[in-house]
Amino acid sequence: MSGFRRHRLLQLLIDAGIVALSWFLAFELRFDQGLPVYYDTLLRRTILLVVAIKIAVFLLFGFHRRWWRYVSVHDMWGAARGVVVASLVADVTVYLVSPVHNVRLPRSIAVMDLLITMALIAGARLFARTVIERPRLGGVVARGREVVVVGAGDAGRTVVAEMQRSRMLRYTPIGFVDDDPTKKNIRILGVRVLGTTADLPRIVRDYSPDEVLIAIPSASGEVRARVVEAAHAANVPVKTLPGLYELITGDVQLAHIRPVQVEDVLGREQVEVDMREVGSFLEGHTVLVTGAGGSIGAELCRQIARMGPTRLILVDNAETPLFEIERELVSERDFTATIPKLVDIKNRKALRREVFEKYQPTIVFHAAAYKHVPLMETHPLESVRNNVVATKIVAELAAEFEVKRFVLISTDKAVNPKTVMGQSKALCEWIIESLGQRRDVPTRFVAVRFGNVLNSSGSVIPTFRKQIEKGGPVTVTTPEMTRYFMTIPEAVSLVVQAGAIGGRGQIFVLDMGEPVRILDLACNMIRLSGKEPRLPASGEPGPNDIAVKFVGARPGEKLHEELWGESESVGATDHPKIMRLSRAPIDAEWLSQQLIELEQLADDGDTLEVVAKLGAIVREPKRETPTGSPAGSLPRGEASLRTKAPHTPPA
């Protein structure tokens, strides 16, 4: 017999004993001067019947499907309902079926039996949980690491309950910290709220915990940074529960606890997404994601898979990343409607035959692109082929097969571009705009523009992390350089949301918050690693220092990135973190001719001509002029949008 079956049998026997005891006590309490003979006979003749009836009802209510050590308030209410039903059934049966010498069951006995049974059933379960989770006394069981838990909400209580329940974790919560002043000095699960985050330096000093745990999934970066600073000053390590996006598919568990990372302290607010709207937009559709093995593409696949598409087609020309995301979706997330396709999107025939004709996708997310600026500067032909020509191919096939929606992943580097990569992405936006404005094309084409995403492959954070692991130096371009940052799950969720609300040929810009100084980012990462940053000319190096070295900006690299240009305006949408961009539409015929010439130069392999042509197209675009409006003004229907000047980050 398995352990769970033995456990259920033990619970059943205990409940049977409780039912019999309650029935006996109800009679004894009713007749405290001694049972009359005929009621004594009624007790003896009905006790087994009552036990059988009540245990049967308990089984129907699922009393014994849970371990008592995990009993919850919800379980207790369920038990109360089961006891009431079981008592009513047993009392009616005894009253109607088992009279003894015309003696019926007194109503007072029925009421007392109900109350006693309910008290003993609840008490047995609470007693079992209390015994199992009893505090580990020093000298009997090792107390383990003493932890101060920041956050006395649902997540904090869940984590503390798990610490108290499991002996193997070797954690002992010694106090909560919470910014709700009404909670100060109260006890939650026997653990006192010691104060607020403002009191944390004193709390860490007075209680000397082994660890501080941030148990607020929705905590802002500012709050996390304050906690980290207070703990770091006392040389106490800090761990955290992940943010809301990392926990979206599961409950809060101790297994989710991880060290604080730099993205936790950037100060960004949590982005909220209307998952119902997004889910209805994707549910039941065949969705295609190009560049599915990349950082953005893979996260797109993860989030889309949760929305219930009929099929999810993963397209990439890199074998290993494609294999990894397909295995993750099928094996780890149990999404079996995954179809990986090892296809180069520059190959129009293969993409048509292997993807569009075969699977008829109805929604396309185009995330495939070359993105590394320095590499594209030295490989402009590949930048044009993979970014511009491939986007044109995918978009034209989407229009030909009447895809319902097409979403292009764009970048802030497409704004006033100075590099080959940025110029190629600007052309990608124009392609989407041009096709989206054609009335003979039913597809709703949209583009979503945003800045840097944290921890994407080849980005600054993995680079800094490797440099820190090697002991430095950490290379920063200039002290003044700033960039916008957003986590990959945040950016992708907003991309999907923009796809749900987007109209024809629209470009959306994500609200990236405030720009971050790259120097501050590097210093924060060094401190989170337990070291101290040492800037140039800052004196003699210490034993715990990591040097920061300034290497200067690369050719074409901007000091501050922009999210929209001077000739562009942005207005509000239904989502506070998504803005709609407006500008004079591109001349479709002119763009088509320019793309033909650019593609021919790329096919000829003329690098210098490609670079010159690409720059000329972007510098002097030909745009349509709406009737009665000068070139560059807002298209008709957009005049009511709230407009803002382009944001220029402070130096």
Domain assignment present for 647: no
Count of CB atoms within 10 A of residue 62's CB? 12
- Same-domain pairing of 371 and 510: yes
User: Which position has the higher pLDDT, 345 or 623?
Assistant: 345
What is the average per-residue pLDDT within 554-570?
Answer: 81
Q: Which residues of 287-311 are buried (b: 16+ CB within 10 A; e: fewer)?
A: bbbbbbbbbbbbbbbbbbbebebee
**443: pLDDT confidence band, cut at 50, 70 and 90?**
very high
- Of the listed ranges 258-272, 419-433, 474-488, 518-532, the least confidently predicted one is 258-272
Using the structure block, give the residue that is written with the tokens 């590097």: 522
Number of domains in the chain: 3
What's residue 513's pLDDT? 79
Residue 139 confidence (pLDDT) above 70 = no
Contacts of 102 (CB under 8 A, 6+ apart): none
- Same-domain pairing of 203 and 238: yes
pLDDT digits (tens, 9 = 90+) for 279-288: 778 989 999 9
- Same-domain pairing of 471 and 398: yes
Show which of 231, 260, 289 is a domain's final residue.
260
Give the best-scoring range by mean pLDDT among 300-309, 357-366, 567-576, 620-629: 357-366
- Same-domain pairing of 354 and 221: no
Question: Long-range CB contacts (< 8 A, 24+ apart) of 331-335?
Answer: 333/249, 333/302, 333/305, 335/305
Domain assignment present for 624: no
Which SS3 state, helix, strand or coil, does residue 635 take? coil
What's residue 642's pLDDT? 35
- Same-domain pairing of 393 and 513: yes
Domain assignment present for 83: yes
Alpha carbons 241 and 215: distance in angstroms, whole number = 5
- Same-domain pairing of 162 and 225: yes
Alpha carbons 88 and 404: distance in angstroms, whole number = 59
Domain assignment present for 72: yes
- Of the listed ranges 407-416, 502-511, 528-537, the least confidently predicted one is 528-537
Alpha carbons 146 and 229: distance in angstroms, whole number = 19
Domain assignment present for 629: no
User: Tokens in use for 290?
Assistant: 């190009």
Q: Is the peptide bond before 646 cis (omega within 30 degrees of 0)?
A: no
Q: What is the CATH number of the domain that holds 215?
A: 3.40.50.720
Contact 348, 393 (CB under 8 A): yes
Show which of 260, 292, 315 is a domain's final residue.
260
- Same-domain pairing of 515 and 571: yes
Q: How distant, in Å, are the alpha carbons of 23, 38, 71, 93, 198 from that of 46?
A: 9, 12, 31, 10, 64
Show which of 260, 292, 324 is a domain's final residue.
260
The residue range of the domain holding 219 is 145-260
- Same-domain pairing of 208 and 286: no
Alpha carbons 481 and 651: distance in angstroms, whole number = 7
Alpha carbons 361 and 313: distance in angstroms, whole number = 8
Contact 256, 296 (CB under 8 A): no
Residue 60 confidence (pLDDT) above 90 = no
Contact 484, 516 (CB under 8 A): yes
Alpha carbons 147 and 598: distance in angstroms, whole number = 62
What is the average per-residue pLDDT within 588-592?
Answer: 92
Residues comprising the chain, all counted: 651
What is the average per-residue pLDDT within 115-134?
Answer: 78
Of the candidates 132, 127, 334, 155, the one whose C-alpha atom is nearest the C-alpha of residue 251 is: 155
What's residue 15's pLDDT? 86
Domain assignment present for 137: no
User: Which position has the higher pLDDT, 318 or 121?
Assistant: 318
> Structure pTM?
0.67
pLDDT digits (tens, 9 = 90+) for 220-232: 777 888 888 888 8
What is the average per-residue pLDDT within 153-171?
Answer: 78
- Same-domain pairing of 152 and 112: no
Residue 423 confidence (pLDDT) above 50 = yes
Domain assignment present for 34: yes
Q: How distant, in Å, are the alpha carbons of 175, 374, 451, 581 from that of 447?
A: 48, 24, 13, 10
- Same-domain pairing of 304 and 243: no
Q: How far apart are the first and last CA of the chain?
A: 71
Residue 254 confidence (pLDDT) above 80 = no
- Same-domain pairing of 372 and 421: yes
What is the average per-residue pLDDT within 381-397?
Answer: 95
Domain assignment present for 649: no
Residue 635 confidence (pLDDT) above 50 = no
pLDDT digits (tens, 9 = 90+) for 502-528: 778 889 988 887 888 888 888 888 888
Alpha carbons 321 and 293: distance in angstroms, whole number = 4
What is the average per-residue pLDDT within 423-436?
Answer: 93
- Same-domain pairing of 325 and 370: yes
E strand map for 440-591:
444-450, 452-454, 474-476, 482-483, 485-487, 506-510, 516-517, 532-534, 545-550, 569-572, 578-582
Of the candidates 496, 500, 392, 495, the one whose C-alpha atom is nearest the C-alpha of residue 448 is: 495
Using the structure block, give the residue that is written with the tokens 């040389």: 235
What is the average per-residue pLDDT within 485-514?
Answer: 85
What's residue 632's pLDDT? 38
**Residue 331 burial class via C-beta count within 10 angstroms: exposed 0-12, middle 13-18, buried 19 and up:** exposed
Q: How distant, in Å, are the alpha carbons of 104, 526, 562, 565 from that of 568?
A: 88, 38, 11, 5
**68: pLDDT confidence band, cut at 50, 70 and 90?**
low
DSSP states of 83-135: HHHHHHHHHHHHHHH--BTTBPPPHHHHHHHHHHHHHHHHHHHHHHHHHHTPP
pLDDT digits (tens, 9 = 90+) for 167-206: 666 788 889 999 888 888 888 888 889 998 889 999 998 8
Count of CB atoms within 10 A of residue 210's CB? 15
